[in-house]
């Protein structure tokens, strides 16, 4: 190690603030990327990191022409920071949940269009939950599946809604509904002009495909294994734009594609054999920590689904 660390002693609010800034910089991969997230200037971020390094008598990161990187000491401090901030959040939640009136916050993350899918009934669940917990501050965001998993695991979010693509030990999964995904092309796509007999696997597999660009279940990957992968579009909206260009084909959930199919803008390609099922799950972290807000939301969600047979 390049320096001998100084005894830390007491940690106050100022040090906590510096550690939070350090964590965001590390998560973003540099000062520039952290500016937007922190809403402070790069020079201010640099001052905070330098002060933290002086406080700890450690060099936490390298920044320069070669890019940003944590030092060996910085990686250790980062892991300790994640643990410390998580424990502080647990303490805050525990104190908040001692009140008869629920307070605190609830963060819900959604992948793609799940938040407005009628089968998830999210507006109805939130309406019922908000009547029971009027003082709780709600945050609802859309994010990538892997980011949702990470944030729920690190307790930066309370619950996430994602298509099931893998099972992680630290998470609990609850089935919400099942999508069926078909292969689609625009009405102007050459494949849309062919009959089922003419749509051989060789012809389909040779046409440019847009897909999510992430590794998922083997049975889903099997549908893409021999296809001509030419474009990445993680979100359904951006994938739809590529499909409507007529230059690509790609898989979409039937429910999302239905308005475009009904209007004649999209057609399913070889639907009898080019389809797969996609389970939509609610994920939470496996934990024994008391969190009445999260527990109430999950109970409200389960009660609603049970009553309405979602």
Task: Quote the pLDDT of residue 284.
Answer: 96
Regions of the chain with pLDDT less than 70: 1-9, 93-101, 310
List C-alpha distances in Å: 247 to 210, 257, 267: 9, 17, 14
CA atoms of 187 and 299, how far apart (whole Å)? 44
Task: Quote the pLDDT of residue 14.
Answer: 87
Residues 6+ apart with CB under 8 A from 213: 232, 233, 234
* pLDDT per position as a tens digit, 86-143: 888 777 766 665 555 678 899 999 999 999 999 999 999 999 999 989 999 999 999 9
CA atoms of 238 and 240, how far apart (whole Å)? 5
Which residue in 31, 28, 33 sits closest to 50, CA to CA? 31
Quick one: 185 exposed, middle or buried, by C-beta within 10 A (0-12, 13-18, 19+)? buried
Both tokens of 243, joined, read 């499909």
Beta-ladder partners of 109: 141, 160
List C-alpha distances in Å: 191 to 90, 181, 233: 55, 18, 20
Q: Which domains does the chain have, with CATH numbers?
A: 13-97 (1.10.10.10), 103-177+280-308 (3.40.190.10), 178-277 (3.40.190.290)
Both tokens of 186, joined, read 């625009």
SS (H, E, C) the chain: CCCCCCCCCCCCHHHHHHHHHHHHHHHHCCHHHHHHHHCCCHHHHHHHHHHHHHHHCCCCEECCCCCCEECHHHHHHHHHHHHHHHHHHHHHHHHHCCCCCCCCEEEEEECCCHHHCCCCCHHHHHHHHHHHCCCCEEEEEECCHHHHHHHHHCCCCCEEEEECCCCCCCEEEEEEEEEEEEEEEECCCHHHHCCCCCCCHHHHHHCEEEECCCCCCHHHHHHHCCCEEEEECCCHHHHHHHHHCCCCEEEEEHHHHHHHHHCCCEEECCCCCCEEEEEEEEEEECCCCCCHHHHHHHHHHHHHHHHHCC
Residue with tokens 């643990």: 83
For 93-114, letters b (16+ CB in 10 Å) and e give: beebbeeeebbbebbbbbbbeb
């Amino acid at each position: 190690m390049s320096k001998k660390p100084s005894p830390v002693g007491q940690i106050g609010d100022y040090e906590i603030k510096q550690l939070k800034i350090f964590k965001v910089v590390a998560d973003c991969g540099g000062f520039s990327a952290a500016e937007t997230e922190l809403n402070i200037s790069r020079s201010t971020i640099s001052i905070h990191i330098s002060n933290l390094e002086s406080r700890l008598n450690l060099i936490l990161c390298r920044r320069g022409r070669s890019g940003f990187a944590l030092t060996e000491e910085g990686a250790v401090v980062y892991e300790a920071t994640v643990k410390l901030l998580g424990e502080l959040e647990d303490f805050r939640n525990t104190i908040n949940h001692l009140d008869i009136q629920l307070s605190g916050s609830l963060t819900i993350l959604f992948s793609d269009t799940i938040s407005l899918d009628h089968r998830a009934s999210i507006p109805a669940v939130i309406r019922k939950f908000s009547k029971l917990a009027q003082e709780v501050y709600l945050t609802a965001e859309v994010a990538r599946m892997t980011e949702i998993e990470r944030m729920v695991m690190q307790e930066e979010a309370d619950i996430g809604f994602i298509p099931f693509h893998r099972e992680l030990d630290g998470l609990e999964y609850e089935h919400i509904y099942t999508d069926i995904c078909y292969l689609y092309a625009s009405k102007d796509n050459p494949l849309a002009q062919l009959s089922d007999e003419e749509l051989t696997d060789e012809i389909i597999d040779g046409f440019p495909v847009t897909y999510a660009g992430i590794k998922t279940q083997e049975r889903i990957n099997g549908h893409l294994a021999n296809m001509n992968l030419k474009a990445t579009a993680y979100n359904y909206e951006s994938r739809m734009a590529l499909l409507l260009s007529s230059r690509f084909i790609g898989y979409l959930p039937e429910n999302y594609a239905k308005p475009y199919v009904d209007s004649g803008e999209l057609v399913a390609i070889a639907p009898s054999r080019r389809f797969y099922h996609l389970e939509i799950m609610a994920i939470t972290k496996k934990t024994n920590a008391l969190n009445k807000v999260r527990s109430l939301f999950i109970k409200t969600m389960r009660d609603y689904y049970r009553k309405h047979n979602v």
